[in-house]
Amino acid sequence: MVDRSVAQDLANNSIERGDPTGWFEELYRIGETEPCVVSWADKRPNPHLVSWATKNKLSGRGERALVVGCGYGDDAEWLASRGFGVQAFDIAPTAISAARRRFPLSRVQYLVADILSPPTEWRGSFDFVFEAYTLQVLKGEHRAKAARNIASLVKGTLLVIARAREENEEEGMMPWPLTKSDLKPLLAPELGLVQVSLEDFVDDENPPVRRFRLECEKSSLNPDHKKT
């Protein structure tokens, strides 16, 4: 069983003092000497990204990809191995420093940035945007704002993976699972994304976790595409 107590305490304290994201850097600093506290860092690419990419024959061919909340860099490196030119960012400078140490010869551009206020030049710039487990550690208006900002960066395909729950279920402790309503800001009409698929599945973790895997694409790529 993964112990998330340190992350949960840091998150709750940070949110209470009005800082929804400051706890990430605190956690990664602790993780420098106690790696187990960064519970999502298993030093491998996300298996739900890998299975989706394999099924869909994902190939970068020099296109631009962005990894949101990249942590220690495993997803970014995997996408680079598929032929993408990858930018990857995290709000925690310690995480970015660790990623650069882990992959000193990497072609990935690792950056410190905040999804609540991303660089304006990123808007509509990426052929493939990947977000896993970032929205589920934000709450309320910050989650919705992050979702809209993520969607605004896409000019091709967006893939989002998150814990899932029903609207009437308790959100419990961090990470806070998303409802289908939490996905709606990603599909705000003014942002131009359409839903290609939404998988609602239970993974093979111990204990199993219910997840959403949402694929969207920029509607201008396919004007005749119908939302499913």
> Could you tell me which of 10, 178, 34, 210 has the C-alpha nearest to residue 186?
178
**Model-level pTM?**
0.94
Taking the C-alpha atoms of residue 228 and residue 219, their distance in angstroms, rounded to an integer, is 13
- Taken in order 187, 189, 192, 196, is the CA torsion positive or negative? positive
| Mean pLDDT, rounded, for 49-63 | 95
State the average pLDDT over residues 196-223. 89
- All domains of the chain, ordered by start, with CATH? 43-221 (3.40.50.150)
Query: Which 3 state secondary structure label does DSSP give 143?
Result: helix
* Torsion angle of the four alpha carbons 134, 135, 140, 144, in this order, in degrees rounded to the nearest 10: 120
On the question of pLDDT at 222 being above 70, the answer is: no
List pLDDT tens digits, range 76-86. Answer: 999 999 999 99
pLDDT score of 44: 96
| Cα torsion 14, 142, 39, 88: sign | negative
- What letter does residue 186 receive in the DSSP assignment? G
pLDDT band at 220 (very low <50, low <70, confident <90, very high): low
Can you give the pLDDT at residue 10?
96
Average pLDDT over residues 181-208: 96
